[in-house]
Amino acid sequence: MFNTSRIKFILIAIALLFAGGVLFYSQTIVSDLREESEQSLIFYTELYAQLAGDAEFSDYGFFFEEIIPRISFPIIITVPVSNEINAWKNINGITDTADATTELKSELKQIAQKMDESNIPVPLIVEGQIVGIIHYGDSITIRRLTWLPFIEILGAFVIILAGFLGFQYIRGSEKKFIWVGLAKETAHQLGTPISSLMGWLEMIRMKLGDDDEITREMDIDIKRLEKVSNRFSQIGAKVKLQPIAAADLFESVKSYIERRIPQKNKSVELIFLMEAKGKIEANSELIEWALENLIKNGVDALEGKPGNIHVRFQQSGTSMIIEVEDSGKGIPDNQWKNIFKPGFSTKKRGWGMGLSLTKRIIEEYHNGKIFVLHSKEGEGTCIRVVLKATG
């Protein structure tokens, strides 16, 4: 089975072969047309030489007006040895009847030199003597044909690029649909047992009373499950954002993490720092979920060893900056961007969905930014979230 990189390499190789083939074929045609132009010119000069052989040669105008009036490529005739301009025809920007001023002759000499770079000049021989040198250039058709393959290749690459981007977009949309379907199905599956548990909890309360510690803890856990179900149900839906005080968000995340994290790693030290007073436009359930994922990911990076997690809320102008820093194993530089991709995980049993989901919540639902601020193997990682602050 081909992987994505190999498919891309094959497509690029095919594109390059196509481009090379088009260039080679077009240049071959251009070369053939130039050769035909040269042969035509040689034929006309020999014909004119035979016609002029019986009379004194002096009329170059006859050569242009009678012998080759239909010629399509530009021509300049110069005098042998002195290289003076004698006549010209089909020169772009210069009429055939223009006055032969010193400036015009100088310009024509430069054009003739450029012509000689592509085509070998043809001598005009009459009675064994060279009476003129004919410099000729490419016709409009040849010039257009020279550029045609580049235009074709550019067009082909644009079409290929558009197709590739379209394919990537469709592929990304399919992944999103899978995410949405999975999330909604999870929310649906959780709904029934949660409702059942709520009913059982009421029956337990009737026997043990509301003040019993067991019923209080069960009530907290059931509400938590209900909150998780609500979070999943909002994935793919149009999320409603409301002003939330940064302090309220901070306390909500802090209270949950301080209750749950010690169950995963009792030796972890949680350090919360609140330095923001403003508000953010957010969905409380989703933004809490995203931040909880970041903190849990930091705890996982400790791999059960003693360490600390710093959670900082800071405000800078219209930006709310949230940082989650751990003292865990760190992330190599070349993996900083990959950690937010679906399926990427450094854990043996990880699904690689937590940070990907977090990135989607931050960027797609809250128009924020999330990135690795700094990380070093063996020293830990700091992930920064930037949201728009109001007030």
**Segment 20-72, tens digit of pLDDT:** 787 787 778 777 777 777 677 677 666 655 555 555 545 555 555 666 556 66
Residue 228 lies in a domain: no
Are residues 352 and 274 part of one domain? yes
Domain count for the chain, please give it.
3
pLDDT bracket for residue 2 (50, 70, 90): very low
| Tens digit of each residue's pLDDT (9 = 90 or more) over 323-362 | 999 998 888 888 888 888 766 666 655 545 678 888 888 9
Give the CATH number for residue 98: 3.30.450
224 compared with 319, residue with greater pLDDT: 319
Pairing mode of beta strands 268-275, 307-316: parallel
Whether residue 388 is predicted with pLDDT greater than 80 in this model: the reply is yes
Are residues 385 and 243 part of one domain? yes
Residue 221 lies in a domain: no
CB atoms within 10 A of CB 94: 16
**CA-CA distance, 141 to 126, in Å (whole number)?**
31
Residue 98 lies in a domain: yes
**CA-CA distance, 30 to 222, in Å (whole number)?**
79
Would you give the distance in Å from CA 313 to the centre of its chain?
33
CB atoms within 10 A of CB 363: 14
Are residues 382 and 243 part of one domain? yes
Are residues 366 and 290 part of one domain? yes
What is the domain extent for residue 281? 239-390
Give the range among 14-18, 44-48, 300-304 with minimum mean pLDDT.
Answer: 44-48
Paired residues of 270 in beta bridges: 309
State if pTM tops 0.85: no
**CA-CA distance, 118 to 267, in Å (whole number)?**
80
Phi then psi dihedrals of residue 225, to 5 deg: -60, -40
pLDDT of residue 164: 74
3-state helix, strand, coil in the chain (%, to 5): 55, 20, 25
**CA-CA distance, 28 to 32, in Å (whole number)?**
6
Are residues 187 and 134 part of one domain? no
Are residues 377 and 256 part of one domain? yes
The domain boundary residue, chosen from 138, 157, 175:
138
**CA-CA distance, 334 to 331, in Å (whole number)?**
8
Are residues 91 and 161 part of one domain? no
Residue type, position 224, single letter: R
Residue 229 lies in a domain: no
Q: 280 and 244 in contact (C-beta within 8 Å)?
A: yes
Q: How far is CA 96 from CA 91, 108, 138, in A?
A: 8, 12, 17
131 compared with 121, residue with greater pLDDT: 121
- Cβ-based burial of 20 (10 A; exposed 0-12, middle 13-18, buried ≥19): exposed
H/E segment holding residue 103: helix 102-118
| Tens digit of each residue's pLDDT (9 = 90 or more) over 217-259 | 777 777 777 777 776 666 666 778 889 999 999 998 888 888 7
**CA-CA distance, 355 to 337, in Å (whole number)?**
11
**CA-CA distance, 284 to 244, in Å (whole number)?**
7
